[in-house]
Structure 1
Amino acid sequence: MISELCLCDLGGEVEVVLRHEGLIEAPNWHPDGYLVVNGGGAIYRVPLEAPALERIDTGFAVRLNNDHGISPCGRWLAISDHTEPGSSCIYRLPVEGGTPERVTEATPSWWHGWSPDGARMAYAGARGDRRVVQLYTCAAEGGDERLLTGAFDHADGPDYGADGQWIWFNGEREARVDLWRVRPDGTELERMTGGPTVDWFPHPSPDGRNVVFLAYPPGTVGHPGGRDVALMLMPSEGGAARVLTRLHGGQGTLNVPCWEPGGGRFAFMRYTA
């Protein structure tokens, strides 16, 4: 497999910045102008001026998945790792590397978003006997877990809007997956897409204007990799979405916040055999 780390602008122009033989996933964009990706249980920095994989020291956490992200201040890196508890747990550590500090006591938990003020994290988690994945928030340093959604067969991919007034996510009801948004206190739930595609991983832009998301073909179950998918752009207030680019990907392409700080471009992954 060849993984291509790409940048895309609002006109759909795609630039490949790194080609890697093997699987890398889920780019974030640091305010200082480098990207962060994961692969093989590790996490890497990719400088845009000289793209290459530079491993970030994550201490004991060596079984990372692709749910990670950078704090609004640029100082912290949230990771999801299952080395110690045996299922996905959220930690934070300095963005340059170091010893992870545990954030979520309950597992499994998969990190997805940071509030604009840096005070809270949003994530997916499975709790109770039924183990249905729903959305939660907690304090960035841990504790104060709050259930955000409870009326979905599966909810995933929460990400805060630029002003912190909404949390966007994908939610499954009656065997269809659409994009939704909800207030951080769990009120004013709104469906934001309703077309034939299976819509995942919405990411609002830092300027508050747009939301980019991943669209699977109708009938797709879950969020698999190795599929022909599209990256879509829609206004943040809702409305028609347009195709930016089509690619081979899915899982790993757009799992986490990925926008350039100014909102003019975002990073994503595509894959070739």
Structure 2
Amino acid sequence: MDGLRAAWGVSYPFELSPAQVWDRSGDKSILEVFDIETGKSEVLDEFDRVIEAPNWSADGKFLTFNSEGRIYKYEIASGDVAEVPSYFVDNCNNDHVLAPDGTGLYVSHHTKEDGLSRIYKIFYDGRMPELVTPLAPSYLHGITPDGKMLAYCAERNGEYDIYTIPTAGGNEMQLTTAFGLNDGPEYDCDGEYIWFNSVRTGRMQAWRMKADGSEQTLMTFDAHWNTWFPHISPDRTKVVMLAYHERDVRPGEHVPNKNVEIRLMTGSDKTGWSKPRTILKLFGGQGTINVNSWAPDSKRFAYVRYVKQ
């Protein structure tokens, strides 16, 4: 597999900084909400810059997103946008989650000393950021319901795997060892399972495992799609994910400005899980739905589509 990767020029998005890989200076961002029950989207706002990866607050009142290295709160009722104070944490990427206690966010920030991503906590009340992962690169995706553990993708010794670490800091634990990119780890609302995506079968697919890394199970079997970032709803009966056609990207690539699809899988362990079906087609990709953006009612989710100007 190493030989094939070298021969085919397969690269992972994390191997170069986003600024080096993509020029998105002409992108316009449209923040939207999709309603599962009606099958319709509602435009919340438009921005003449790149915004990415909305999170939905537990009280349903606001979204957060990253833009130009900073994190912002978007009040849904008023449309007001306010920057979350983060001081020197000013180069955030689109991997961030909300703290369940409502005090702030955990973010992935490219630090100045080496440009690599490390996880920090930033606070709504203006407290100074707190470092969680000294080791880098680390890309955050999940947090337990009690706010005590984080799950993230990290490169260690040349391999991208899934790790967990206490939010208070401490030793990280490696959960995956499969060759290639293992990414997007996200706890369900009970903290029992972690959903993630992996290229271990040759195609990027959605997987699930117990929170301790056991019972790693393939959940999608897409023959012609590379499936990224499965997001489990709060009621644990729906999963939305982003899909690229096999003709458009290599399995380990998650790039912007592509025609992509958002797909939905429904079910439960008792009833079984459906095959994913396409519910949205859009111009997007990187930044569209990197992190969990389900509303607390499990009926809607937020996402970003892009317009190349």
Provide the TM-score with structure 2 as the length reference: 0.85
Query: Does the 8 A contact of 1:204 with 1:236 survive in 2?
Result: no
Alpha-carbon distance in 2 for matches of 1:4, 1:171? 28
Tell me whether 1:137 sits opposite 2:164 in the alignment: yes
1:205 counterpart letter in structure 2: S
Flag the 1:98–1:236 CA change in 2: closer, same or farther, 3 A.
farther
Q: Contact 1:26–1:252 at 8 Å: present in 2 too?
A: yes
Q: Which residue of 2 aligns with 1:73?
A: 101
Task: Give the distance between the partners of 1:154 and 1:142, measured in 2 at CA.
Answer: 24
Shift of 1:98: 3.1
Deviations 1:160-202 (A, max 9, x none): 1121111000100253111000111111010000112100011
1:55-204 pair list within 5 angstroms? 55-86=83-114, 87-128=116-157, 131-195=158-222, 196-204=224-232
- Matching residue's letter, 2:28: I
Task: Look up the match of 1:247.
Answer: 282
Considering only CA atoms, is the larger Rg found in Structure 1 or Structure 2? 2
3-state SS, counterpart of residue 181 of structure 1: strand
Match status 1:208 vs 2:220: no
Q: Tell me if structure 2 keeps the 8 A contact 1:154–1:173.
A: yes
Gaps of 5+ in 1: none
What is the correspondence of 1:227-242 to structure 2 with a 5 Å cutoff?
A: 227-237=258-268, 238-242=273-277
Deviates more, 1:230-239 or 1:133-142: 230-239
C-alpha displacement of 1:55: 1.1
Superimposed CA distance per residue, residues 232-270 of structure 1 (whole angstroms, 9 cap, x where no aligned partner): 110253221121211100000010111111211111000
User: CA–CA distance in 1 between the matches of 2:104 and 2:148?
Assistant: 12
Q: Percent identity?
A: 39
Change (3 A) 1:263 1:97: farther
More displaced 10-residue stretch of structure 1: 169-178 or 208-217: 169-178
Paired AA for residue 5 in structure 1: L
2:44 aligns with 17
In the alignment, structure 2 segments of 5+ residues that lack a partner are 1-26
Aligned counterpart, 1:3: 29
**Equivalent-residue separation in structure 2 for 1:37 and 1:5 (angstroms):** 10
List per-residue Cα deviations over 1:79-122 (Å, max 9, x = no partner).
11113442100001224443110000210001101011211000
TM-score in terms of structure 1 length: 0.95
- State the AA in 2 paired with 1:88: S
More helix by share: 2
| Separation (CA, whole Å) in 2 of partners of 1:106 and 1:83 | 11
> What residue is the counterpart of 2:78 in the other structure?
50
Query: Which of 65, 71, 80 is equivalent to 1:37?
Result: 65
Alpha-carbon offset, residue 76 of structure 1: 3.0
Q: Cα gap change, 1:248/1:137 in structure 2, threshold over 3 Å: closer, same or farther? A: same
Counterpart selection for 2:291 from 245, 256, 259: 256
The 1:249/1:96 distance shift into structure 2, 3 A limit, reads: farther
Task: Give the AA of the match of 2:225.
Answer: T
- Paired residue type of 1:90: I
**Number of paired residues?**
271
The one-letter amino acid paired with 1:118 is G
Q: Deviations over 1:125-179 (max 9, x none)?
A: 0012xx2211100001111200011113111111111211110001002531110
Say whether the 8 Å CA contact 1:179–1:199 is kept in structure 2: yes
Q: What amino acid does structure 2 have at the position aligned with 1:18? A: D
Pair 199,96 (structure 1): closer, same or farther in 2 beyond 3 Å = farther
